[in-house]
Structure 1
Amino acid sequence: MKGSSGFDRERHIAFLEMMLEELPEEYATQEINRLTLAYFAVSGLAILRALDRVDKDQIARWVLSFQSHPRDNFDLDNGQFFGFSGSRTSQFFSHNSEISSHNVSNLASTYSALAILKMVGYDLSDIDSEALLISMRKLQQSDGSFMPICFGAERDLRFVYCAAAISFMLNNWTGMDKEKAKEYILKCQSYDGGFGLVPGAESHGGAAYCAVAALQLMGFLESDISSISAVSSPVDVPLLIEWSLQRQATDGGFQGRANKPSDTCYAFWVGGVLKILGAHKFLDSDAIRNFLLSCQSPYGGFTKFPNDRIPDIYHSYYGFAALSLLDEQGLDPLCVELGITISDRGDIYDLDPVLISILEIAMAGFLSTLKRVYLSVYNWTVFVGWFQVLYFALKTLSESGHTAVYDAVEKPLQLAQTAAVLEILHGLVGLVRSPVSATLPQIGSRLFVTWGILWSFPEIRTHILVSSLVISWSLTEIIRYSFFGMKEALGFAPSWLLWLRYSTFLLLYPTGITSEIGLIYLGLPYIKASDKYCIRMPNKWNFSFDYFYTSILVLGIYAPGSPHMYTYMLGQRKKALAKSKTA
């Protein structure tokens, strides 16, 4: 046997360090899976307690460079998945788009990225999880399965598991429908107790792991065999355990399917299933270890079969993982459901690995939930304010005419519009992705009209343009804030509201802008006559300011700015509505 001398930890560490530094040319065809290969190397070093030999910050920066980010809120509605790409070739952009024209972000690479980041100590709360999870939910199909990418791909248990692991690590389940996912998983259990990758397929060790681990992460399984063997269990546990135990062959190794040779990786896939189910004590652990050591390469790492000569990183990693499940001396324990190790924290090893993972991400999850709650409350509160503005405006118009509209809406108008200042702060601190450079001019111009014109110069409050202004503004904002309020509260907005969000501006933007320009123009004579807000020389600051000419400058900015903004919004409408049909 190649491994008869025992487990060669130092040689394995050297093998993984080499793989992490530079992959042999045989891996060229796996370039699009670079993040997954890195996961094998990093997680392997973690199992071997050798992560201190790598630059964790450098690894974190490298992994983060693969994340895809939406340019703005419009991009979240175009059907793309904003997770992690598998490689640099996945980030090549087409000439006419900022979206990759071939390989895009995918679930497997996203799982690998988050697992690596977690193992090197990166704070997952800094990840743009909102965009990731919103777009991930679009990958889930009507039957509960997941596609790994946003178009034209297979769907099976592998990607259901990836979605569950991603959600678990981020401690946020808004990116998937757990009940639908569970239903799909249960349909994949075969008559013999195992699981196929899709309903009706042959039972397979890897599929069984994906099914059981996903159910465990989603909270549908208990950790005690006496409980999961009960009739109330969603899966046929006794039959699954029997099928899994039958996969251990006479040579001590595990086969992935019936009548197949033993393979290093299935010692983890099938062994992991039994570990989760609490049935690993029924295995012949010594026989498993002997088989694994027979696949140990003298160069470091593990081969697929005992008689193979050259080790590969895939089977090497799962060899280490399987030995970790056997409590091999010198190896870190493994959180089986997630496929990552738990950092050395003394007595915390006495806790269940999944519980430890929950504790580690609890604060990140709390902050994410707090953010969603705050933004939901903000959007719905301002929605109520603008609804009041519209109600009072329409009521006053019908009862007293346009000359009384401003007096009726003054307070709610000022409160609702001034509250928008918080949106600038939201952008500055990263609560939302809207760039401050775009938000500031829009909010600034409205505040100028609200306070600098209407509040400051009562002479123009009775004009008909006040009515058209507040109706245009309030209708626009009622739709906008309800749209974002639903997305924050529920994780999505209905298609009819999406249509209103990107269609009503066709009329309301011109009427609103025309009203703003008209009211500023009407106010110019009163501004010039009042000398309000002007600073004249001489003064101790040696500075002068003329509000009249400032107002003229603002009017001048409207001229080029308004057509540009309208054209931009037309483009966003076309993209959002077209992409929503294919999402």
Structure 2
Amino acid sequence: MGDRAGEDQLAGFARGRHAAYLQAMALELPRDYANQEVMHLTLAYFAVAGLSLLRALDWVNRDDIAEWILSFQVHPEANDDFDSGQFYGFCGSRTTQYPSNSVKDPCHNGSHLASTYSALAILKIVGYDVLNIDSKPLLLSMRNLQQPDGSFMPTHIGAETDLRFVYCAAAICSMLKDWSGMDKEKAKEHIINCQSYDGGFGMVPGSESHGGGTFCAVAALYLMGFIQPDLASNLRESALIDVQLLLEWCLQRQAADGGFQGRRNKPSDTCYAFWIGGVLKMLGAYHLIDHTALREFLFTCQTDFGGFSKFPEKVLPDIYHSYYGLAAFSLLGEDGVEPMAQVLYYAVSALLGSGGHEAVYAAVEKPLQFAQTAAVMEILHGLVGLVRSPVSATIPQIGSRLFLTWGILWSFPETQSHILVTSLVISWSITEIIRYSFFGMKEALGFAPSWLLWLRYSTFMILYPIGILSEVGLIYIALPYMKASEKYYLKMPNKWNFSFDYFYTSAVAIGAYVPGGPHMFTYMLAQRKKALSKAKTA
């Protein structure tokens, strides 16, 4: 352990020390945390999630952790009534799991919404399939915690209601892929009522804007599907919340020392680098902050023992700020912290993660747009003779992808959660990985191995039909939204004396696939025969 922990120089990011600190916290909490024992699962989440960010989950036993977490789940008795008001989730600790004379709860059920969120999150992190747990009583009883105004109590015996628990409820439903546990419309209205005059969100309606509350509000709306990612570059899409005012409030929270404050006139605090940074990331505005200054601030909160403190120059770390310090470095793309990935990785991770196929587009949007737009260069390369690909074949292929990327998926967010987005992205990605690998090896080595040649000229027989059907399906799905919104329409009269109907143009585009698809497929079959025959005679 000492060797691994001592591998870093504190002048930089002390990954080994951070991992050693979190491993120790995952195994046994120090005495100073005794008064927080009731939230043991939440503290465990910070340790396990932090190790996951550091790609150091092998420092703990995942199976033991999963078994320990599952032992906190509360199961209803055979004759229990879900309408009794009880919540059957996860207890936060052993002391809340067993009866206490200090709590007047004759049936004794210590389930807590935050503990349930932490438990499910830990299980997902360590690789346990949360869909295997008995979620029906959990979700049915969770509705008992939702109040008439849409907010949530954390436990059935009563407590404060604020945005933290609305977010927990939304995250629980998202992880379990079942929204029967809450009334999303009521929750949405409650969140909207929490937006303050200055753009941020208070924990409850009418309260001061707060960094943590703002994250919970935006993240919950995002998980529930009421807002789309990257609203900063597409402000016209959301009338649900005041995005422009929200952006201004968030950006104003970065202080002169580079850190972020949670409220006005408060000192910078490590955790808000994630809470505020996470909001800006979801809104597509993270690039607007001073990354260098934030990184320097976070290093002043990194301790000699590993982990992070709340404020700069404090000697000892705490588990809460250690996790959020790492999460902030993750947003910054720090080496040694779980990195960004490419389109295919994003798509598969989102598909297998808590959001399912509905989350795929949000995960791949930026790299997808960049990759498909950059593909325009292929047309230029064909025109000037840098490559031998015929322009007549390249233009329809690139054109259709640009149309889908910008004219359908970006322009009509209603299509973004459809399962056809998943099949589209995966078919496109696998095709391009094989194609560019093939050409890259030919350019670098002068040849490509036979297996790669075969993949280059054979996988299209499966991937091309999948891609074509996905493209046509998504255009068709977007048609009613085109008609209702009249987006990109140009109506008469106008100074150009010209009209344009995007709906009918898109319908014609669908029709063009009828001759175009088979034509391209036949062309690729001919290319396959030619390439493989040539390889055999070589």
Provide TM-score, normalisation by structure 2. 0.62
Question: 1:226: Cα distance to partner?
Answer: 5.2
> For 2:86 and 2:70, how far apart are their aligned partners in 1?
18
SS at match of 2:111: coil
Question: 1:309: Cα distance to partner?
Answer: 1.2
Given that 1:254 and 1:267 are in contact with CA atoms closer than 8 Å, whether structure 2 keeps it comes out as yes
> For 1:121 and 1:4, how far apart are their aligned partners in 2?
32
User: Within the alignment, does 1:351 sit opposite 2:347 as a pair?
Assistant: yes
Cα deviation digits, residues 281-308 of structure 1 (max 9, x gap): 1011111111001100000000000021
Which residue identity does 1:326 align to in structure 2?
L
Aligned with 1:197 (options 186, 192, 203): 203
User: Within the alignment, does 1:330 sit opposite 2:326 as a pair?
Assistant: no
Aligned with 2:280 (options 270, 274, 284): 274
Given that 1:271 and 1:280 are in contact with CA atoms closer than 8 Å, whether structure 2 keeps it comes out as yes
Question: 1:151: Cα distance to partner?
Answer: 2.0
Match of 2:431? none
> For 1:286 and 1:70, how far apart are their aligned partners in 2?
52
Aligned with 2:321 (options 297, 315, 322): 315
> For 1:103 and 1:77, how far apart are their aligned partners in 2?
15
Q: 1:147 to 1:268 in 2, by over 3 A?
A: same
Which residue identity does 1:244 align to in structure 2?
C
Q: 1:359 to 1:199 in 2, by over 3 A?
A: closer
Given that 1:228 and 1:237 are in contact with CA atoms closer than 8 Å, whether structure 2 keeps it comes out as no
Q: 1:225 to 1:104 in 2, by over 3 A?
A: same
Match of 1:375? none
Question: 1:351: Cα distance to partner?
Answer: 3.2
Aligned with 1:252 (options 248, 254, 258): 258
> For 1:358 and 1:121, how far apart are their aligned partners in 2?
12
Which residue identity does 1:13 align to in structure 2?
A
Cα deviation digits, residues 177-208 of structure 1 (max 9, x gap): 00000000000000000000000000000000
Question: 1:94: Cα distance to partner?
Answer: 6.2
User: Within the alignment, does 1:80 sit opposite 2:76 as a pair?
Assistant: no
Match of 1:135? 141
Match of 1:50? 56
> For 1:100 and 1:354, how far apart are their aligned partners in 2?
43
Gaps of 5+ in 1: 335-343, 363-583
SS at match of 1:174: helix
Match of 1:20? 26
Q: 1:152 to 1:270 in 2, by over 3 A?
A: same
Cα deviation digits, residues 141-183 of structure 1 (max 9, x gap): 0000000000221101000000000000000000000000000
SS at match of 1:136: helix
> For 1:100 and 1:257, how far apart are their aligned partners in 2?
41
Given that 2:232 and 2:244 are in contact with CA atoms closer than 8 Å, whether structure 1 keeps it comes out as no
> For 1:209 and 1:44, how far apart are their aligned partners in 2?
19
Match of 1:385? none
Question: 1:98: Cα distance to partner?
Answer: 13
Given that 2:176 and 2:354 are in contact with CA atoms closer than 8 Å, whether structure 1 keeps it comes out as no
> For 2:269 and 2:352, how far apart are their aligned partners in 1?
31
Cα deviation digits, residues 368-420 of structure 1 (max 9, x gap): xxxxxxxxxxxxxxxxxxxxxxxxxxxxxxxxxxxxxxxxxxxxxxxxxxxxx
User: Mapping of 1:143-158 within 5 angstroms?
Assistant: 143-158=149-164
Task: Give the greater-gyration-radius structure (CA).
Answer: 1
User: Mapping of 1:160-239 within 5 angstroms?
Assistant: 160-225=166-231, 228-230=234-236, 232-239=238-245
Cα deviation digits, residues 515-545 of structure 1 (max 9, x gap): xxxxxxxxxxxxxxxxxxxxxxxxxxxxxxx
Aligned with 1:110 (options 113, 116, 123): 116
Aligned with 2:71 (options 43, 46, 65): 65
Q: 1:32 to 1:102 in 2, by over 3 A?
A: farther
Cα deviation digits, residues 209-251 of structure 1 (max 9, x gap): 0000000000011112356512643110010000000000000
> For 1:13 and 1:226, how far apart are their aligned partners in 2?
35
- Structure possessing the higher relative contact order (Cα contacts under 8 Å, 6 or more residues apart): 1
Gaps of 5+ in 2: 1-8, 359-538
How many pairs does the alignment contain?
350
> For 1:361 and 1:225, how far apart are their aligned partners in 2?
20
Which residue identity does 1:292 align to in structure 2?
L
Given that 2:231 and 2:237 are in contact with CA atoms closer than 8 Å, whether structure 1 keeps it comes out as no
Aligned with 1:34 (options 36, 40, 43): 40
> For 2:163 and 2:51, how far apart are their aligned partners in 1?
27
Given that 1:63 and 1:117 are in contact with CA atoms closer than 8 Å, whether structure 2 keeps it comes out as yes
Q: 1:98 to 1:136 in 2, by over 3 A?
A: same
Fraction of identical pairs, as percent: 62
Provide TM-score, normalisation by structure 1. 0.57
